[in-house]
Homo-oligomer: A and B are copies of this chain.
Amino acid sequence: MSKLIRRVAIVGGTHGNEWTGVYLVKKFQQFPALTTRSSFETITLLANPKAIELNRRYIDQDLNRSFASEDLLNPKLINYENQRARDIVAQLGSRDQPQVDVIIDLHSTTSNMGLTILPSTPDPFNLRLSAYLSQIYPDVRVALGMNCTQDAPLLRSLSPLGFTIEVGAVAQSVLNADLFLKTEQLIYAVLDYIEALNQGKPLDVPSRLTLYQAIEAIDYPRDAIGNLQAFIHPDRQFKDYEPLQPDEPIFLTFAGESIRYQGNSTVFPIFINEAAYYEKQIAMILTEKREIELDKEY
C-alpha cells in the first residue's frame, strides 16, 4: 500500500522564456478548479518571475542549476537565482523537510522531444506513473538523466517524487497551441492518477516501461577558443529518440565536412540542438534504450 500524496506542486517559468509552462501555470492560477482534486492540495508556482518579465532564460545564472544543497546553504551566493532558489525552498520545503510530496516542473525545448518525462529519481512511484502516462499518450517518452537523484541541483530534485516535463520542438518565447494543450492534458492525467491512488483505486499500469537512460553529452565541434565549427547534421536535426548507429553523421562543419558518430553501439540521442544548451556545451545527449519490468507494488 502506498503512502498518501498530500500536496502536489506544479511549477512553470523555471526558465523565463519557456512559455508553455509559464502560461499553463497562469491558466491554472486563473482557473484553480482545473487542478483541484478531492484527496490532495495542488499548489502552483511561477519560479523565476524576473526572468519571465524580461523574457529570458535567467537573470544571473540558470535557476534550474541553483538547488544544490551546499549552494542553498552558502551565504556568499547572493545573486538573483540564488535568492529565488531559497525562496522556493521556503515554499516547497527542503530535501530534509519537504512541504510537498510531488513536484512537476514544466519546461520546453527546441529539440523535437515530443512530451518527455524526466523523473526526479527512479522511485517506483515515478516509474509507474510514467508508464501509465506513456500508455495513454503515445507521444510521451520517459528519459532518465545522468544525475537522476536528489543530489542534482535541479528544482525538481527537492522532492524524490515527480518529474520535469519537456515539450518540443517549440521555440523560446512562443506559445504552440498543440503542445500547450497536450501538456495540459498530461497534467490532468497526472492529477487524476494521484487522486485514484489516494482513494485506494489505483489505475492500471502496464508491467513494462521503455526508458531512455542518458549516458553521455556531446558538444559541438569548436575551435581552440570555443567558436562553433559545425552544426547538427541535417539528417539528424529533429530526430530525437531515433537510433544513431556507429559511423552515421551527426555534425556538418561550416566547410561542408560530415562528422560521424565514433561510438561502438546504437544510441538514441535526445536534446538535439536545444537552444539553451549551446552555452552548456551540449549538442545532444546520448541515451540507451531499456525495457524494464515494473514493481507491482507502490
Contacts and interface: CB of A to CB of B under 8 A. Distances in A.
Given A174-B278, A177-B237, 19 more contacts: A23-B228, A27-B254, A56-B56, A110-B174, A169-B171, A171-B172, A172-B275, A173-B275, A174-B273, A174-B274, A174-B275, A175-B228, A175-B231, A176-B231, A176-B237, A176-B273, A177-B231, A177-B232, A177-B233
Contacts of A175: 228, 231-232, 273
A181 interface: yes
A30 B176 CA distance: 37
B171 A275 contact: yes
Main secondary structure of the interface of A (DSSP, over half): loop
Contacts of A228: 23, 175
Q: Oligomeric state, in number of copies? A: 2
A178 interface: yes
Given A23-B254, A27-B254, A254-B27, A173 B174 contact: no
Interface string A217-251: 00000000000100111100100000000000000
Size band of the interface chain A makes with B: 35 or more
A229 B180 CA distance: 14
- Pairs A-B, 3 closest by C-beta atoms: A171-B171, A175-B231, A177-B234
A131 interface: no
Nearest to A109: B171
A92 to B, nearest CB: 25
Interface in A255-289: 255, 273-276, 278-279
Contacts of A172: 171-173, 275
A252 interface: yes
B110 A181 contact: no
A117 to B, nearest CB: 22
A82 to B, nearest CB: 21
Contacts of A31: 255
A237 B178 contact: yes
